[in-house]
Protein backbone atom coordinates (compact mmCIF):
# COMPACT_ATOMS: atom_id res chain seq x y z
CA UNK A 1 0.00 0.00 0.00
CA UNK A 2 1.53 3.33 -1.00
CA UNK A 3 1.41 6.64 0.83
CA UNK A 4 -1.30 7.99 -1.43
CA UNK A 5 -3.60 5.16 -0.48
CA UNK A 6 -2.90 5.75 3.22
CA UNK A 7 -3.56 9.48 3.21
CA UNK A 8 -6.21 11.11 5.34
CA UNK A 9 -7.99 13.71 3.31
CA UNK A 10 -9.83 16.65 4.82
CA UNK A 11 -13.48 15.73 5.37
CA UNK A 12 -16.38 17.96 4.32
CA UNK A 13 -19.70 17.36 6.12
CA UNK A 14 -22.89 18.36 4.28
CA UNK A 15 -26.06 18.59 6.37
CA UNK A 16 -29.70 17.81 5.60
CA UNK A 17 -32.93 19.76 5.38
CA UNK A 18 -33.74 22.18 8.23
CA UNK A 19 -30.28 21.58 9.69
CA UNK A 20 -26.97 23.45 9.75
CA UNK A 21 -23.40 22.26 9.95
CA UNK A 22 -23.82 22.20 13.74
CA UNK A 23 -25.77 18.95 13.42
CA UNK A 24 -22.39 17.24 12.93
CA UNK A 25 -21.07 18.39 16.32
CA UNK A 26 -20.52 14.89 17.70
CA UNK A 27 -19.29 13.38 14.43
CA UNK A 28 -16.94 16.28 13.81
CA UNK A 29 -15.47 16.00 17.29
CA UNK A 30 -15.15 12.23 16.93
CA UNK A 31 -13.23 12.54 13.66
CA UNK A 32 -11.02 15.39 14.85
CA UNK A 33 -9.98 13.34 17.87
CA UNK A 34 -8.84 10.66 15.44
CA UNK A 35 -6.72 12.96 13.33
CA UNK A 36 -8.97 14.23 10.56
CA UNK A 37 -9.34 17.85 9.49
CA UNK A 38 -13.10 18.42 9.45
CA UNK A 39 -15.10 21.10 7.66
CA UNK A 40 -18.82 21.84 7.52
CA UNK A 41 -20.81 24.47 5.69
CA UNK A 42 -24.29 25.89 6.19
CA UNK A 43 -26.53 25.52 3.13
CA UNK A 44 -28.78 28.56 2.60
CA UNK A 45 -31.72 28.27 2.56
CA UNK A 46 -31.86 24.97 4.40
CA UNK A 47 -35.61 24.33 4.08
CA UNK A 48 -35.93 23.17 0.48
CA UNK A 49 -36.90 26.60 -0.82
CA UNK A 50 -34.11 26.32 -3.41
CA UNK A 51 -33.35 23.40 -5.67
CA UNK A 52 -30.71 20.92 -4.59
CA UNK A 53 -28.73 21.79 -7.71
CA UNK A 54 -28.46 25.36 -6.42
CA UNK A 55 -27.33 24.16 -3.01
CA UNK A 56 -24.72 21.98 -4.70
CA UNK A 57 -23.20 25.13 -6.18
CA UNK A 58 -22.67 26.33 -2.61
CA UNK A 59 -20.75 23.13 -1.93
CA UNK A 60 -18.64 23.69 -5.05
CA UNK A 61 -17.93 27.29 -4.10
CA UNK A 62 -17.04 26.31 -0.54
CA UNK A 63 -14.60 23.66 -1.76
CA UNK A 64 -13.01 26.08 -4.22
CA UNK A 65 -12.66 28.68 -1.49
CA UNK A 66 -11.37 26.49 1.35
CA UNK A 67 -9.09 24.03 -0.45
CA UNK A 68 -6.25 24.39 -2.90
CA UNK A 69 -6.99 23.08 -6.41
CA UNK A 70 -4.72 20.07 -5.98
CA UNK A 71 -6.18 19.03 -2.60
CA UNK A 72 -8.35 15.88 -2.75
CA UNK A 73 -11.06 15.54 -0.14
CA UNK A 74 -13.67 13.21 1.28
CA UNK A 75 -17.35 14.09 1.66
CA UNK A 76 -19.98 12.88 4.13
CA UNK A 77 -23.55 13.87 3.30
CA UNK A 78 -26.47 13.38 5.68
CA UNK A 79 -30.02 12.97 4.36
CA UNK A 80 -30.66 15.76 1.80
CA UNK A 81 -26.97 16.61 2.07
CA UNK A 82 -26.11 13.30 0.45
CA UNK A 83 -28.16 14.20 -2.61
CA UNK A 84 -26.74 17.72 -2.73
CA UNK A 85 -23.27 16.19 -2.57
CA UNK A 86 -24.11 13.73 -5.33
CA UNK A 87 -25.08 16.60 -7.60
CA UNK A 88 -21.80 18.33 -6.81
CA UNK A 89 -19.87 15.14 -7.55
CA UNK A 90 -21.81 14.00 -10.60
CA UNK A 91 -22.65 17.32 -12.26
CA UNK A 92 -20.29 20.03 -11.00
CA UNK A 93 -16.98 18.17 -11.47
CA UNK A 94 -16.65 17.29 -7.82
CA UNK A 95 -15.74 13.79 -8.93
CA UNK A 96 -12.37 15.20 -9.95
CA UNK A 97 -11.64 16.03 -6.31
CA UNK A 98 -13.64 13.71 -4.07
CA UNK A 99 -12.00 10.36 -3.32
CA UNK A 100 -14.23 8.97 -0.57
CA UNK A 101 -17.95 9.70 -0.42
CA UNK A 102 -20.33 8.59 2.31
CA UNK A 103 -24.06 9.18 2.42
CA UNK A 104 -26.02 8.65 5.62
CA UNK A 105 -29.78 8.06 5.34
CA UNK A 106 -30.03 9.88 2.01
CA UNK A 107 -33.11 9.51 -0.24
CA UNK A 108 -31.31 8.29 -3.36
CA UNK A 109 -34.59 6.87 -4.65
CA UNK A 110 -36.71 9.58 -3.06
CA UNK A 111 -38.93 9.73 0.02
CA UNK A 112 -42.72 9.96 0.14
CA UNK A 113 -42.33 12.48 2.98
CA UNK A 114 -41.29 14.98 0.29
CA UNK A 115 -44.86 15.02 -1.01
CA UNK A 116 -45.70 17.11 2.05
CA UNK A 117 -44.09 20.24 0.56
CA UNK A 118 -44.16 22.04 -2.77
CA UNK A 119 -40.79 23.66 -2.18
CA UNK A 120 -38.43 23.00 -5.10
CA UNK A 121 -35.87 21.05 -3.09
CA UNK A 122 -38.57 18.83 -1.61
CA UNK A 123 -40.14 18.17 -5.01
CA UNK A 124 -36.73 17.02 -6.22
CA UNK A 125 -36.59 14.46 -3.41
CA UNK A 126 -39.87 12.79 -4.33
CA UNK A 127 -39.70 9.22 -5.65
CA UNK A 128 -39.10 9.11 -9.41
CA UNK A 129 -38.58 12.88 -9.63
CA UNK A 130 -36.87 14.10 -12.80
CA UNK A 131 -33.99 15.29 -10.65
CA UNK A 132 -33.33 11.90 -9.05
CA UNK A 133 -33.91 10.00 -12.28
CA UNK A 134 -31.28 12.18 -13.92
CA UNK A 135 -28.73 11.55 -11.15
CA UNK A 136 -29.50 7.84 -11.10
CA UNK A 137 -29.18 7.54 -14.87
CA UNK A 138 -25.39 7.60 -14.57
CA UNK A 139 -24.92 6.56 -10.96
CA UNK A 140 -22.19 4.22 -12.22
CA UNK A 141 -19.90 7.26 -12.00
CA UNK A 142 -19.72 6.67 -8.27
CA UNK A 143 -17.88 3.41 -8.92
CA UNK A 144 -14.87 5.57 -9.77
CA UNK A 145 -14.54 6.61 -6.11
CA UNK A 146 -14.90 4.98 -2.70
CA UNK A 147 -18.65 5.29 -2.19
CA UNK A 148 -20.58 4.00 0.83
CA UNK A 149 -24.25 4.33 1.77
CA UNK A 150 -25.15 3.97 5.46
CA UNK A 151 -28.82 3.69 6.41
CA UNK A 152 -31.29 2.36 8.93
CA UNK A 153 -34.36 0.23 8.14
CA UNK A 154 -36.28 2.11 10.87
CA UNK A 155 -36.04 5.51 9.16
CA UNK A 156 -39.28 7.52 9.30
CA UNK A 157 -37.93 10.39 7.18
CA UNK A 158 -36.67 8.28 4.28
CA UNK A 159 -39.78 6.33 3.32
CA UNK A 160 -39.38 3.62 2.28
CA UNK A 161 -36.07 3.32 4.14
CA UNK A 162 -34.57 1.21 1.36
CA UNK A 163 -34.63 4.35 -0.80
CA UNK A 164 -31.19 4.98 0.70
CA UNK A 165 -29.85 2.08 -1.39
CA UNK A 166 -27.89 2.47 -4.60
CA UNK A 167 -26.71 -0.30 -6.94
CA UNK A 168 -23.07 0.77 -6.63
CA UNK A 169 -20.53 1.08 -3.86
CA UNK A 170 -20.70 -0.37 -0.37
CA UNK A 171 -23.75 -0.56 1.86
CA UNK A 172 -23.91 -0.56 5.65
CA UNK A 173 -27.27 -1.13 7.38
CA UNK A 174 -27.49 -0.15 11.04
CA UNK A 175 -30.48 -0.74 13.35
CA UNK A 176 -30.75 2.87 14.52
CA UNK A 177 -34.19 3.86 15.79
CA UNK A 178 -34.49 7.41 14.45
CA UNK A 179 -33.26 9.36 11.41
CA UNK A 180 -31.34 12.09 13.32
CA UNK A 181 -29.73 9.57 15.65
CA UNK A 182 -27.61 8.35 12.75
CA UNK A 183 -25.22 11.25 13.37
CA UNK A 184 -24.64 10.40 17.02
CA UNK A 185 -24.93 6.61 17.12
CA UNK A 186 -21.56 5.16 18.10
CA UNK A 187 -21.83 2.38 15.52
CA UNK A 188 -22.37 4.87 12.72
CA UNK A 189 -19.45 7.00 13.87
CA UNK A 190 -17.21 3.94 13.86
CA UNK A 191 -18.31 2.99 10.34
CA UNK A 192 -17.66 6.52 9.08
CA UNK A 193 -14.16 6.57 10.56
CA UNK A 194 -13.38 3.11 9.23
CA UNK A 195 -14.65 4.02 5.76
CA UNK A 196 -12.63 7.24 5.68
CA UNK A 197 -9.55 5.16 6.54
CA UNK A 198 -9.90 2.75 3.63
CA UNK A 199 -7.39 2.87 0.75
CA UNK A 200 -8.50 5.00 -2.15
CA UNK A 201 -8.85 3.66 -5.66
CA UNK A 202 -5.38 2.89 -6.98
CA UNK A 203 -5.99 3.47 -10.67
CA UNK A 204 -5.74 6.92 -12.31
CA UNK A 205 -8.83 8.78 -11.22
CA UNK A 206 -11.41 10.03 -13.73
CA UNK A 207 -9.08 10.46 -16.69
CA UNK A 208 -11.96 10.49 -19.16
CA UNK A 209 -14.62 12.03 -16.99
CA UNK A 210 -15.17 14.93 -19.37
CA UNK A 211 -16.64 12.46 -21.85
CA UNK A 212 -18.94 10.71 -19.36
CA UNK A 213 -20.19 13.52 -17.16
CA UNK A 214 -23.55 15.04 -17.99
CA UNK A 215 -24.17 18.77 -17.96
CA UNK A 216 -25.89 20.32 -14.94
CA UNK A 217 -29.66 20.51 -14.93
CA UNK A 218 -30.90 23.43 -16.96
CA UNK A 219 -28.20 22.93 -19.59
CA UNK A 220 -30.20 20.57 -21.77
CA UNK A 221 -29.41 17.21 -20.19
CA UNK A 222 -33.06 16.29 -19.59
Residue 5, pLDDT above cutoff 70? no
Confidence of residue 216 (pLDDT cuts 50, 70, 90): low
According to the model, what pLDDT value does residue 204 have? 47
**DSSP per residue over 83-147, as a string?**
HHHHHHHHHSSGGGTEEEEEEES--TT--GGGGG--SHHHHHTSTT-HHHHHHHHTGGGGGGSEE
Give the tens place of pLDDT for each residue, 125-181: 999 999 999 999 999 999 999 999 999 999 999 999 999 999 999 999 999 999 999
Confidence of residue 23 (pLDDT cuts 50, 70, 90): very high
Give the tens place of pLDDT for each residue, 119-131: 999 999 999 999 9
Residue 205, pLDDT above cutoff 70? no
Residue 7 or 214, more confident: 7
Give the tens place of pLDDT for each residue, 100-118: 999 999 999 999 999 999 9
For the chain, the residue count is: 222
Residue 210 or 19, more confident: 19
Beta-carbon contacts of residue 2 (< 8 Å; ≥ 6 apart): 202
Q: Model pTM greater than 0.95?
A: no
Angstrom distance (rounded) from CA 108 to CA 86 = 9
According to the model, what pLDDT value does residue 79 have? 98
Over residues 17-38, mean pLDDT: 97
Residue 56, pLDDT above cutoff 50? yes
**DSSP per residue over 34-90, as a string?**
TT--EEE---SS-SSSS-HHHHHHHHHHHHHHHS-TT--EEEEEETHHHHHHHHHHH
According to the model, what pLDDT value does residue 201 have? 74
Amino acid sequence: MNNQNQQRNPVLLVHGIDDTGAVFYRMGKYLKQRGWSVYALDLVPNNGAKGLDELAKQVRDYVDREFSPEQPLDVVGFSMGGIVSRYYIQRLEGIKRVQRFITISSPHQGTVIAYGSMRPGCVQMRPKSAFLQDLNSDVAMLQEINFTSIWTPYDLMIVPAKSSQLPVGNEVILPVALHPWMLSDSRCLEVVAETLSQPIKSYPQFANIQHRQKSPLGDGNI
